[in-house]
Structure 1
Amino acid sequence: MAAKETPPGECPQCWQHAHDRKVHRGLRGDCPQCVNHMVNGCPYLVPKKESWWW
């Protein structure tokens, strides 16, 4: 499955880890990046979706 571009308003790491099976292939247990993300929150400034109104 080809990795798609991250849509606006989504965290790039969350998006990649949720939609690309290659990221977690070969892991035996929890993904350290995902665990850190769940515990400490999203480290990225997620851009807001573009407004069509303005």
Structure 2
Amino acid sequence: MPGKETPPGECPQCWQHAHDRRIHRRLRPREDCQPCLDHMNNGCPYIVPKKPSRWW
């Protein structure tokens, strides 16, 4: 799903790595993606935008 915008409240890197298969295509079988591992261990380095308030 390349080209889709990151939804509000989602980390851009997490969203892209989860929905764009081209990113992990270069990895060999059973090889881990280093940015994904860093995200799992250290959390998201991005300020995640809040979801828009729609209670009105």
TM exceeding 0.5: yes
Unaligned runs of 5+ in 1: none
Runs of 4+ that moved beyond 6 A: none
Q: Which residue matches 2:27?
A: 27
The alignment yields a C-alpha RMSD, in angstroms, of 1.3
Q: Which has the higher helix share?
A: 1
- % identical equivalent positions: 74
Q: Which residue matches 2:9?
A: 9
Q: With structure 2 as the length reference, what TM-score do the two structures score?
A: 0.85
Q: With structure 1 as the length reference, what TM-score do the two structures score?
A: 0.88
Unaligned runs of 5+ in 2: none
